[in-house]
Copies of this chain bind each other. A is one copy, B any other.
Amino acid sequence: MRRLTVMHPVPVEVPPALAHQSTLREANLGVVLRSVCAAEEPLSRAGVAAGTGLTRSTVSRLVDELVAGGLVEEGTALLAGPGRPATPLLPSSRVCAVGLQVNAAHVAARLLDLRGRVVAESRSEPDLVGSEPAAGLALLADHLAEVLEAVPTGGRVLGAGLALPGVVDAAGERLLHAPNLGWRDLDPGPDLRALLDGIPLGLANEANLAAHAFAEPAPGRRGRSGHFVYVSGEIGIGGAVVTDWRVQTGLHGFAGEIGHMPFRPGGDPCPCGSDGCLERYAGRLAMTRRAGLPPGTTLAELGRLADGGHAAAAEAIDLAADALGVVLAGVVNLLDVPTVVLGGEIGDLADRITPRVTELLRARVMAAAFMPLEVVRDADDVPGATGGALLHLSRVVAGPAGFLTV
């Protein structure tokens, strides 16, 4: 296999961003904060200077601003080796955001800080398929209240991000349709906003947020891959596309519906109005029905049954793997994203489906000979919640200027 270096013959257009002088400072504040956030081991001012190319004097001034603004904390000096001991810099543990997630099997709230640490978590696993929204949202509110208790004294909660398994409006304010919950045209805010007390709440598609979290597992820190397709396999199949560490949201924010890409056009009709959609072969509902099992069967159970010799279960899983492999090969052909991430419940079948999916990718991707192809599992079990919190925390790293406390 030949590996090719990254260089794009088609130029990337620079956004026509007018630059005032303050733009310069804001950009460099971002560079410094990103550097502090991205470091595995805490950096000193001098370390940031060495890493970014800015001079120590400039870094010093910018760091002072970030410290004064409450985004960076100075640790106690480390004593090691000759010279003046360095002052370690850490993203503030007082800057937090809340991630929320509701899907058919999980309700969860997470509090993350700017270091990307999970400060608190509260969750439950009810069955919300075809449920009334009120019950699920009340449960979510309980979890939210619990994690809000854990906000450190003097801490700031920048926002809350709610991951939902469906189509969210472009403003991130309403859930338009979550077919697998049976929820439609809904403002999930009222129950939550009272608790949030002015803290902004943003809604987004679960898979998009999960993919964001996979691409950027902590604010300013890059994940193992920046070009991947994320498959969120629950009752249905959601997805997201990440290129160059950016989640592709599309023009209206509807991108990522990989579950409704065609696998067998003309095949199983799908409630979406189409037929033969991937979801009709690789979604939990489709798989359990094919295996002749009750719809509440989890994919983990399905996998165990298949391992135990349940032929129909094994067949259903194999068909799902075929469907995923074919569709994902198409996606890789279209977008040259060499990594496939399996997240959500379908991750529980990773051992069974990864080999077949990998095989199909290698066989069906045109440029397979020129690129590595890998299928990996997302280890986070509530990645939507993580992504919901990162939704707000990442904004801080992207542009710290607007988040400095006066």
Within 8 A of B (CB), among A257-292: 257-258, 260-265, 272-274
User: Interface size bucket, A side?
Assistant: 35 or more
Beyond A10-B209, A11-B394, A335-B255, whether A27 also contacts B31 by CB under 8 A is no
Within 8 A of B (CB), among A1-16: 4-14, 16
Can you report 28 residue pairs joining A to B where beta carbons are below 8 Å apart? A6-B251, A7-B253, A9-B253, A10-B209, A10-B212, A10-B247, A11-B394, A12-B246, A13-B245, A23-B24, A227-B250, A241-B334, A243-B251, A248-B335, A251-B336, A251-B337, A252-B367, A252-B370, A254-B370, A255-B334, A255-B335, A255-B336, A257-B334, A258-B333, A263-B265, A265-B326, A273-B364, A273-B368
Q: Does A398 contact B (CB under 8 A)?
A: yes
> A58: shortest Cβ distance to chain B, in Å?
10
Residues of chain B within 8 A (CB-CB) of A335 are: 241, 248, 250, 255
Within 8 A of B (CB), among A359-374: 363-364, 366-368, 370-371
Q: Does A134 contact B (CB under 8 A)?
A: no
Q: Does A216 contact B (CB under 8 A)?
A: yes
Encode A220-247 as 1/0 by CB contact (under 8 A) with B.
Answer: 0000000100000000000101010111
Within 8 A of B (CB), among A161-211: 167-172, 176, 202-204, 208-209
Whether A10 pairs with B391 at a CB distance below 8 angstroms is yes
Given contacts A10-B247, A23-B27, A256-B336, 16 further A-B contacts (CB under 8 A): A9-B172, A9-B253, A11-B395, A11-B398, A17-B27, A17-B31, A18-B53, A241-B335, A250-B335, A251-B336, A251-B338, A254-B367, A257-B333, A257-B367, A272-B366, A274-B364
Whether A252 pairs with B336 at a CB distance below 8 angstroms is yes
Most buried by B among A28, A239, A366: A366
> A32: shortest Cβ distance to chain B, in Å?
10
Encode A306-345 as 1/0 by CB contact (under 8 A) with B.
Answer: 0000000000000000000011011101111110000000
Q: Does A76 contact B (CB under 8 A)?
A: no
